[in-house]
Structure 1
């Protein structure tokens, strides 16, 4: 089969690239965090004899914002296209792009197109959740793109490099998609997930990379001085209909051996003098036995670090015993993700939780002195106004009973999710730059009163009013009933370089920094 790609006579020279962040000019959410995905892909390739160069437009361009002329109201954070291209070695044979978020696709496409002009003979590859969900669309929308890596990327990307090195046909590589010489779309069989997760090399954090984020006070969730990203698991065993994880990772769930995790943590303490761990896992805590063993090993080794779960967690394993133990180990921040306060909505979206149980866990975490955030969603396609009010009432109850933050976002139909497929099949989604950019603005720019919505009962303005009103009430309730938080917020935002107890404080601090830079 003619793929149009030139075989490589020797070991390909590899570059891995992450493009800029896209947001609205008024966004309150400009999360710039280390790219753990590329670090894992690089480590796996390096363990098999390759020597990737990593170019992170975000990490190397923190605090650099520029407007997008083609898309008024939107900005990029990170290096310019020209700066990214200048950092890719001229003799690079294979250039791999991280394309995790559909909201950034218009800018990623521009970057790949420019890369093709600058490196006409290189093989351009992309992977991540956006690519996994929309491989054919991405290939046809961006002719510069040669190959899509679908799903878990480390082994598939390595197999692709070996295929190119040996001059074999791309049909031999499972887990990829591409256009053949006649322009036909080819999607090879999915590859099996890596089952022995403890054999995956630790991330390849290149020299001086993490220090840039620490110096800028950038962090996922709350911040300390030297926050280290960490993964203790792969995949998620659940099938929530709004989530794209099942398509990206399947439902195979694997936890790492606690001893391997502890060894990685101790390595980072020695090498980087880290002060905090941030678990990036989608579902880090599901097994109580693993959680207890991990916590006991932290205590036994005398590892004195703060650590947090900023991505969202379930509550099955988080009872009084476990939470008390986590607090002893330095856990200072938990994000719970009940998603809804309406039982019927939870049933529809296949969120297999019991509200009384997760509520009890949230309140117990507060009793243990852990800062708690709770994430909720409104505006699901089949949701009624009554169910939205149930969720709002549930969120306000949590705020009144001590939850530090309760966030309500509007449903986003992410490509790859079951709800996205349902809406697309019904003809309610038209792929294109407008749709992708609206995904970016939906839950980062709270000033918008016309967000992208898919609920036939409640329109964009109504849902936006519910969200804004809840946000104001949530913080009003929190600060009135718990006035000590007022001083904490003032201290953390105005008087501390790095500390932030909540996402609100972290983002407010970041927004003030941007405002100061803009006026200097």
Structure 2
């Protein structure tokens, strides 16, 4: 069965030309997981395919839309797609996603339209009420989307798929299924399917850069529950890290395959486990990797000591931002 995953155009402030768009690593992870389950996957990366395209947004005069125009995005979706999934990470981009979903529904009336991501998780009922979506995926998406695809391919309903909220075809009402447990260990998730995306067109670096850049994830979740952060809605309070050796294996593969010299780790709360972080640094040092790496989300001040700072510097950590 064919699943098409859509990275929608970005909404950026009109005069903020420092805004950086990032390769859709979440979509790339879900694509690789679906493939492992036997499904066919295509990705429509509206930003990557239209990086230099900026258009005014009528509904929001202070903003521009970066990426392919709506009609080109819809035309790029394979009409044989049984499921069309839309990434909706940020609340400010919801008007763009809502319009895209509406156009997709008009062209593909029989497809199952799904949204996932931080905003779709935190505001699922609103998304279903404002757009012709069939379903929102709540939280971590790989297993949920795979089981949703399995159910639709088998002709089953959505009631038995954990971790979603959907519109009932019988009553038209909203149904929330039972909460899904997080995937563990996260090393069981295949590496992202970067062959379906063009990460090299993105300008990733937010500090000093040493060359071609790739996004990665070394851990998921956060044990804290800050009032300003959406992490709890998406990941709850469990932090889990990958095996350091596996992380560096992936870094080495990207260095060999893409010539990558810079790595951006999009972890929500890196270095929660200081011992794990030191092992990761020593693994990079021990392999002699001539790379630079960063964590754009920032690092808690209380998690960096003298020994940790020394290891970070030796392992190529080139830029640090402190979070509180």
Same fold per TM (> 0.5)? yes
SS of the counterpart of 1:84?
A: helix
Which residue of structure 1 lines up, in the alignment, with residue 283 of structure 2?
A: 297
268 and 173 in structure 1: CA distance in 2 versus 1, 3 angstrom threshold: same
**Structure with the bigger percentage of helix:** 1
Aligned partner of 1:95 in structure 2 is 84
* 8 Å contact kept, 2:28–2:196: no
Q: Which residue of structure 2 aligns with residue 251 of structure 1?
A: 237
Structure with the larger strand share: 2
Deviation digits for residues 331-367 of structure 1, max 9, x if unmatched?
11011112xxxxxxxxxxxxxxxxxxxxxxxxxxxxx
Moved more, 95-104 or 70-79: 70-79
Stretches of structure 2 lacking an aligned partner (at least 5 in a row)? none
Distance in 2, matches of 1:224 and 1:115, equals 40
Cα drift, residue 30 of structure 1: 2.1
SS of residue matched to 2:86 = strand
Q: How much has 1:163 moved relative to structure 2?
A: 0.7
Residue of structure 1 equivalent to 2:184: 195
CA distance in 2, matches of 1:279, 1:243: 18
* 1:417-469 deviations in Å (ceiling 9; x for gaps): xxxxxxxxxxxxxxxxxxxxxxxxxxxxxxxxxxxxxxxxxxxxxxxxxxxxx
2:220 is aligned to: 234
1:282 and 1:313 in contact (8 A); partners too: no
Alignment partner, residue 30 of structure 2: 41
Return the offset for 1:156.
0.4
Measure the CA separation in 1 of the matches of 2:138 and 2:103.
23
| Native 8 Å contact 1:19 1:58 kept in 2 | yes
How far 1:46 moved relative to its partner?
0.9
Deviation at 1:119, TM superposition (A): 1.1
Residue 176 of structure 1 is matched in structure 2 by: 164
C-alpha displacement at 1:298, in angstroms? 0.9
Preserved contact between residue 220 and residue 240 of structure 2 (Cα < 8 Å)? yes
> 1:28 deviation in Å?
4.3
- How many angstroms does 1:273 deviate by? 1.0
Which residues of structure 1 form unaligned runs of 5+?
Answer: 1-11, 339-520
Select the structure of larger CA radius of gyration.
Answer: 1
Per the alignment, in what secondary structure is the counterpart of residue 239 of structure 1?
coil
Q: How many residues align?
A: 322
User: Offset of 1:71 from its aligned partner?
Assistant: 2.6
Q: Please name the residue that 1:167 is paired with.
A: 155
* Structure 2 CA distance for aligned equivalents of residues 71 and 317 of structure 1: 40
* Deviation of 1:154 (Å): 0.5
| Residue equivalent to 1:275 | 261
Query: Structure 1: how far apart are the matches of 2:101 and 2:150?
Result: 22
* 2:270 counterpart residue number: 284
The whole-number CA distance in structure 1 between the counterparts of 2:9 and 2:82 is: 22
**What is the rounded CA distance, in whole Å, between the counterparts of 2:74 and 2:11 in structure 1?**
19
Match of 1:153 among 126, 131, 141: 141
Runs of 4+ in 1 over 6 A off after TM superposition: none
Determine the C-alpha separation between the residues in 2 that align with 1:302 and 1:203: 24
Residue of structure 1 in register with 2:45 after alignment: 56
Supply the distance in 1 between the matched residues of 2:147 and 2:91 (Cα, whole angstroms): 25
Aligned to 2:2: 13
Given that 2:42 and 2:196 are in contact with CA atoms closer than 8 Å, whether structure 1 keeps it comes out as no
Whether 2:118 is the aligned partner of 1:129: answer: yes
Q: Which residue of 2 aligns with 1:114?
A: 103
Question: CA–CA distance in 1 between the matches of 2:60 and 2:265?
Answer: 34
Question: Does 1:66 pair with 2:55?
Answer: yes
Q: Distance in 2 between matches of 1:182 and 1:288?
A: 51
| Structure 1 residue 313 displacement after superposition | 1.1
The two structures have a TM-score, normalised by structure 2, of 0.96
Give, in whole Å, the separation in 2 of the partners of 1:191 and 1:266: 33
Q: In the aligned structure 1, how far is the partner of 2:197 from the partner of 2:228?
A: 37
Residue aligning to 1:341: none
